[in-house]
Structure 1
Amino acid sequence: MSDALTDEAETLSNKAAKKRRRREPPPDPAPLPGLVDAHTHLAACGGRDAGSVRAILDHAQAVGVDQVVTVADDMVDARWAVVAAEWDDRVYAAVALHPMHAGDLNDETAAELEQMVRHPRVVAVGETGLDYYWPGKSDDCASPEVQHETFRWHIDLAKRVGKPLMIHNREADRDLLDVLAAEGAPDTVIMHCFSGDRNVARECVDRGFMLSFAGTVSFANAEELRVAAELVPDELILVETDAPFLTPHPYRGQPNQSYCLPYTARAIAEVRGVSEEEMARLLGANARRAYNIPLP
């Protein structure tokens, strides 16, 4: 075989190996007891029925992740999340309309969401907020104006039911914080998958908001996130997977599930200069306090 053909074959082989690796789930981390996955999407992880949800939670619990909060993006997902939380007592739900689906809010869906959020297994209103990345890129995404209106409705709902507000924020830092200030934030605000810089982090901390960090905090290009994770006070930090997305380093791009949470918790412990066991206890305790969920 010529050198050119050999090089081409090696390139194709490397591409196939990389594609195959992206389909493979990461190996199990060493157990790290006491964790709570503060934000995941069980249905998108394959948890479509009681048996598959139980399997995901059994896998997570084997490495120390005792409880999870599964989060809705739209009305179908919200209905499913409530049912999933009834299937397994390790699962809790958060329901809302994601900013992309903000246009789905009407009298009927508002009434149904309010009924769902009062369910005892629903622990937060979320994820809601602003997303300035997708408008113009996707015909299915609500406009910023519609997002603002729906976000304000969710803020009011969280205050009326007395449950945490779980925030989705993508490229909308200033406007999102201004809306929260104008409307008056609920007692507990959780900045899901925090992605801001140190200045945004400080402003959130000054307002008493909780910052939840996903696998992105472990990425090589995420120095600002690591600064943010270091400056957050102990009582305001959470950890999440946002599974099946944002798998932590060194498994970036591979399928994510709640069992991968110890990788991110250990990355945060390293940034904060504390033991991984102490970090896990703190992160778990914060999630249980924020969501008002009992010890397992």
Structure 2
Amino acid sequence: MVEWVDTHCHLQMDTRDPAILLNRAGHVRYVVVPGVDVASSIAAREIALGAPGRAFYAAGLHPHEADRWSTERDGLLPLMDGAVAIGETGLDFYRNLSPAEAQLESFLEHHRLALEMAKPLIVHCRDAFLQVYEVLEQHGAGPWVVLHCWTGGPKWSKRFLEMDVTFSFAGPVTYKTGDTIRRGAAVIPPERVVVETDSPYLAPEPHRRGPNEPRYVNLTGEALARVWGLEAAEVARLTSERAIGVFGL
């Protein structure tokens, strides 16, 4: 069986039973469940405890919630200690649900903690390519920086590629409107990529209008295989190897 790794699925934010979602994703070897605040990080840890060796969790504060960093920080620190990654964090200047200054402060703190704890950093980047690039350029990057749900075109893909980061692709690479994302993927070596669902959001085609789940992660991988002219099984192997190495699964 061709096996995949779903590096980003919010099973704790789905109304469906996570055990059922995992059971019907038999072709998915591992999943990483990131938190977006203290409560969701605790819930992610519970899912990981319920599926040992299959599910792993990350702990962090989403940029939408960044203005709560000062009150969430103490609760997140012990959760981060047992997590396989820090995040998701980053910058979102599309919705701007937290002030830019608060987002930047939270992002920098997550980055510092990831360095201190020697853990991967899951980075959300929406309408903030330049600002995320500047943070990483100044404070450090590498394979341990995972650019979650990457949507950059060739220009930004090439720039971040020079930083040796890990690119994570999700459902939008399958969309009819995803040509820019596919052109960005085309300039990235497959061995630098992981795949994700971001479930229950961003379901890939042909499930776009419904809820997402880990069993659909292969659809993103198959879209990338078409971009690179590779067999899907080879993309599964390469992205899984990258995921296992980066997250220490």
TM-score, L = length of structure 2: 0.95
Which of 84, 87, 101 matches 1:123?
Answer: 84
5 Å-filtered alignment, 1:121-200, equals: 122-135=83-96, 141-185=97-141, 188-200=144-156
The CA RMSD measured in Å over matched residues stands at: 1.4
5 Å-filtered alignment, 1:21-170, equals: 33-47=2-16, 52-61=17-26, 64-89=27-52, 90-106=54-70, 109-119=72-82, 122-135=83-96, 141-170=97-126
1:242 and 1:73 map into 2 onto residues whose CA distance is 12
Contact kept, 8 Å, 2:89 with 2:124, in 1: the verdict is yes
2:66 and 2:145 map into 1 onto residues whose CA distance is 19
Residue deviations 1:120-161 (CA, integer Å, cap 9, x gap): xx21111100010112xxxxx210011111111000000000
Unaligned 5+ segments in structure 2 are: none
- 1:187 to partner: Cα distance: 5.4
AA matched with 1:244: P
2:60 and 2:130 map into 1 onto residues whose CA distance is 22
1:59 and 1:35 map into 2 onto residues whose CA distance is 13
Contact kept, 8 Å, 1:159 with 1:186, in 2: the verdict is no
Contact kept, 8 Å, 1:165 with 1:186, in 2: the verdict is no
- Match of 2:211, SS state, is coil
AA matched with 1:53: P
Residue deviations 1:60-103 (CA, integer Å, cap 9, x gap): 11xx1111001111111011111211111211011100001011
1:183 and 1:168 map into 2 onto residues whose CA distance is 17
Match of 2:188 in 1: 232
Contact kept, 8 Å, 1:204 with 1:210, in 2: the verdict is no
- 1:250 to partner: Cα distance: 2.2
- Match of 1:60, SS state, is coil
- Match of 1:85, SS state, is helix
- 1:46 to partner: Cα distance: 2.8
Aligned positions, number: 248
TM-score, L = length of structure 1: 0.81
- Match of 1:128, SS state, is strand
Larger Rg: 1
2:30 and 2:68 map into 1 onto residues whose CA distance is 30
- 1:44 to partner: Cα distance: 2.0
- 1:186 to partner: Cα distance: 6.0
